Structure 1
Amino acid sequence: MRHSLTQLSAVLTVLSATTNALPTNGHSNEKHGSCAKTKVAILGAGAAGVAAAQNLTASGIKDFMIVEHNDYIGGRLRNQEFGKNAQGKPYIIELGANWVEGIGSEETNENPIWLLAKKHKLKSTYSDYDKYKTFDHEGETDWSDKIDEYDAAYEKAAAEAGRIMVDNLQDTSARGALRTAGWRPEKDDMHAQAADWWGWDFEAAWTPDESGLVYGVAGGNASFGYFSDVSNLVIDQRGYNIILEEEAKEFLRKNDKRLRLSTTVEGIKYDKKGVKITTKDGGCIEADYAICTFSVGVLQNNVVEFKPALPEWKQSAIDQFAMGTYTKIFMQFNESFWDDETQFLLYADPIERGRYPLFQSLNAKGFAEGSNILFATVTGEQAWRVERQTDEETMEQMLEVLQLMFPKKKIPKPTAFTYPRWSTESWAFGSYSNWPVGMTLEKHQNMRANVERLWFAGEANSAEMYGFVHGAWTEGRYIGHKIGNIINGKAGDDEFDMTRYETLHGTTFEDELDEENGWLFPYNIEEGGV
Structure 2
Amino acid sequence: MMNSDFLRDDKETEQNNSANRPFDSKRDSYVERKLDEDILSSQERRVRDWDFAHLEYDCAASLNNVSLLYWNHDEVYRSFGGDHCMIKRGYSFVVEYLGEGITIPLNQILTNVSYDIKEPGQNYKIKVSTTNGNDFFGDIVLVIVLLGCLKAGTIQFYPPLPQWKCFCGKRFSYGTLNAVVLEFPNEVWDYAGDYFEATYARRNSRGHCFMFCNVRNAVGAPALITLEVGKVAIDG
TM-score with structure 2 setting the length: 0.68
Matched, 1:361 2:217: no
Q: Which runs of 5+ in 1 are unaligned?
A: 1-134, 165-169, 387-530
Tell me the amino acid that sits aligned with residue 109 of structure 2: T
Pick aligned residue for 1:233 from 81, 85, 101: 85
The alpha-carbon distance between structure 1 residues 381 and 217, as it changes in their structure 2 partners (threshold 3 A), is closer
Tell me the amino acid that sits aligned with residue 362 of structure 1: V
Q: Which residue of 1 aligns with 2:165?
A: 314
1:205, CA displacement in angstroms? Answer: 0.8
Equivalents in 2 of 1:318, 1:275: separation in Å?
A: 22
The alpha-carbon distance between structure 1 residues 296 and 212, as it changes in their structure 2 partners (threshold 3 A), is farther
Equivalents in 1 of 2:233, 2:106: separation in Å?
A: 29
Q: Which residue of 2 aligns with 1:283?
A: 134
**Partner deviation per Cα, 1:95-137 (whole Å, 9 max, x = no partner):** xxxxxxxxxxxxxxxxxxxxxxxxxxxxxxxxxxxxxxxx5xx
Q: Report the 3-state secondary structure (helix = DSSP H, G, I; strand = E; otherwise coil) of the residue aligned with 1:291.
A: coil
Q: Which residue of 1 aligns with 2:224?
A: 374
Q: Report the 3-state secondary structure (helix = DSSP H, G, I; strand = E; otherwise coil) of the residue aligned with 2:190.
A: coil
The alpha-carbon distance between structure 1 residues 354 and 140, as it changes in their structure 2 partners (threshold 3 A), is closer
Spell out the pairing of 1:302-451 with structure 2 (5 A cutoff).
302-306=153-157, 310-342=161-193, 343-348=195-200, 350=202, 351-363=204-216, 366-369=217-220, 371-386=221-236
Q: Report the 3-state secondary structure (helix = DSSP H, G, I; strand = E; otherwise coil) of the residue aligned with 1:194.
A: helix
- The 8 Å contact of residues 361 and 373 in structure 1, kept in 2 or not, is answered as yes
Spell out the pairing of 1:68-147 with structure 2 (5 A cutoff).
135=2, 139-141=3-5, 144=7
Tell me the amino acid that sits aligned with residue 163 of structure 2: E
Equivalents in 2 of 1:317, 1:345: separation in Å?
A: 35
Matched, 1:261 2:115: no
- The 8 Å contact of residues 187 and 193 in structure 1, kept in 2 or not, is answered as no
Tell me the amino acid that sits aligned with residue 327 of structure 1: N
Q: Which residue of 2 aligns with 1:205?
A: 60
Tell me the amino acid that sits aligned with residue 195 of structure 1: D
Tell me the amino acid that sits aligned with residue 348 of structure 1: Y
1:384, CA displacement in angstroms? Answer: 4.4
Q: Which residue of 1 aligns with 2:114?
A: 270
Tell me the amino acid that sits aligned with residue 65 of structure 2: E
Spell out the pairing of 1:457-476 with structure 2 (5 A cutoff).
none
Equivalents in 2 of 1:384, 1:263: separation in Å?
A: 33
The alpha-carbon distance between structure 1 residues 235 and 307, as it changes in their structure 2 partners (threshold 3 A), is closer
Equivalents in 1 of 2:71, 2:233: separation in Å?
A: 21
The alpha-carbon distance between structure 1 residues 309 and 286, as it changes in their structure 2 partners (threshold 3 A), is same
- The 8 Å contact of residues 207 and 233 in structure 2, kept in 1 or not, is answered as no
Q: Report the 3-state secondary structure (helix = DSSP H, G, I; strand = E; otherwise coil) of the residue aligned with 1:298.
A: helix
Number of residue-to-residue matches in the alignment: 216
- The 8 Å contact of residues 173 and 210 in structure 1, kept in 2 or not, is answered as no
- The 8 Å contact of residues 63 and 230 in structure 2, kept in 1 or not, is answered as no
1:196, CA displacement in angstroms? Answer: 0.9
The alpha-carbon distance between structure 1 residues 261 and 292, as it changes in their structure 2 partners (threshold 3 A), is same
**Partner deviation per Cα, 1:49-77 (whole Å, 9 max, x = no partner):** xxxxxxxxxxxxxxxxxxxxxxxxxxxxx
Equivalents in 1 of 2:226, 2:71: separation in Å?
A: 24
TM-score with structure 1 setting the length: 0.34
Equivalents in 2 of 1:341, 1:354: separation in Å?
A: 23
Equivalents in 1 of 2:87, 2:97: separation in Å?
A: 17
Q: Report the 3-state secondary structure (helix = DSSP H, G, I; strand = E; otherwise coil) of the residue aligned with 1:209.
A: helix
The alpha-carbon distance between structure 1 residues 176 and 385, as it changes in their structure 2 partners (threshold 3 A), is closer
1:380, CA displacement in angstroms? Answer: 4.8
1:358, CA displacement in angstroms? Answer: 3.0
- Report % sequence identity: 17
Q: Which runs of 5+ in 2 are unaligned?
A: 118-124
- The 8 Å contact of residues 174 and 216 in structure 1, kept in 2 or not, is answered as no
The alpha-carbon distance between structure 1 residues 322 and 336, as it changes in their structure 2 partners (threshold 3 A), is same
Q: Report the 3-state secondary structure (helix = DSSP H, G, I; strand = E; otherwise coil) of the residue aligned with 2:207.
A: coil
The alpha-carbon distance between structure 1 residues 280 and 320, as it changes in their structure 2 partners (threshold 3 A), is same
